[in-house]
Amino acid sequence: MQYVKLEDLVSYTGIEPVYYPEDVQSRIYTPDIIRPGLQMAGYFDWFSFERVQVMGKAETLYFKNLDEEVKRERMDKFFSYPIPALIVANAMEVEDIIIHYAKKYKGPVFKSNIKTDKLVNIMINFLEEELAEEITLHGVCLEVFGVGVLLKGKSSIGKSETALELINRGHRLVADDAVIVKKVEGGLKATCPELTQHLMEIRGIGILDIKHLFGVGSIRIEQFIELVIELEEWDDNKEYDRIGADEEYTEILGVKVPTVVIPVRPGRNISAIIEIAAKNYRQKLLGYNPLETYNKKFHNMVRN
């Protein structure tokens, strides 16, 4: 099961340790965060202890006004569960009794000056991305006219060379050869492995550093994939779509992505065709479909 180490969450958010035992290696398996108000009130029947616990101003002030004996009872039961961590947000004071029972059960406790809702949002966004479904695909990912394009095709079909021409035209590289794809917020976010970040391999030349050759404006760290371009060798026996009537999709991690198949042969300007495919995709997003316009004109001519 995929998980995030507590130390990674600590490093990302900058929360300050109050009690963080070195021999405890907490793992977080869910991006969900809980504010344990009901637990402070003594209700543990439906306690999502596997989540990171965040006490904000309301929970902290409620707990502060409890009787000392009740506080001990609640904290003893609270930390008896294997919670990943308790974070006291909004610059609220961490009471000694909380630290006492945290030490008894070795439950990590942190504090933060960040407002509760903001801290929760930061953690959820981080954990969702870190725990997202992930796959590594062979291909090239670029941003073309603001559209995330994944170039696919068999080896030596010319993906990198086509991508290089697109970069030379002012578009931006995300990843070459190996593309890490994560399912985030219902979409597909593409990134590059750290080892090959802003690098590209061109047969006959070798490894190119796109950032240094074209400047920082020629690369992107991440990009949502919106369009798949499948490059394939021209087949004279195959009937290719000539008017855009066939809508094809590629399924990646359960998400269907619009797909355009482009046959490759000498004399075809593949980079220009990809630019037009990206522009055409944007047109459709804005509600304009050239095929529908063509069909209306055709039917009007037939009627007349």
pTM, to two decimals: 0.76
Rounded average pLDDT over 270-299: 80
Q: DSSP readout, the chain?
A: ---EEHHHHHHHHTPEEEE--TT---EE--S-EE--HHHHTT--TT--TTSEEEE-HHHHHHHHTS-HHHHHHHHHHHHHS--S-EEE-TT----HHHHHHHHHHT--EEE-SS-HHHHHHHHHHHHHHHTS-EEEEEEEEEEETTEEEEEE-STTSSHHHHHHHHHHTT-EEEEEEEEEEEEETTEEEEE--GGGTTEEEETTTEEEEHHHHH-GGGB-SEEE--EEEEEEE--TTS---SSS---EEEEETTEEEEEEEEEE-TT--HHHHHHHHHHHHHHHHTT--HHHHHHHHHHHHHH-
Q: Into which CATH architecture does domain 4-130 fall?
A: 3-Layer(aba) Sandwich (3.40)
Model confidence pLDDT, tens digit, residues 42-100 = 999 999 999 999 999 999 999 999 999 999 999 999 999 999 999 999 999 999 999 99
Domains 4-130 and 134-293 share a fold: no
Assign a CATH topology to domain 134-293: Rossmann fold (3.40.50)
User: What is the structure's pLDDT at 23?
Assistant: 83
Q: Which of 30-44, 221-235, 273-287, 289-303 has the lowest mean pLDDT?
A: 289-303
Query: Is 290 a residue whose pLDDT tops 90?
Result: no
Q: Which residues are catalytic?
A: 138, 159, 177, 242
User: What is the structure's pLDDT at 243?
Assistant: 58
**Domain residue spans of the chain:** 4-130, 134-293
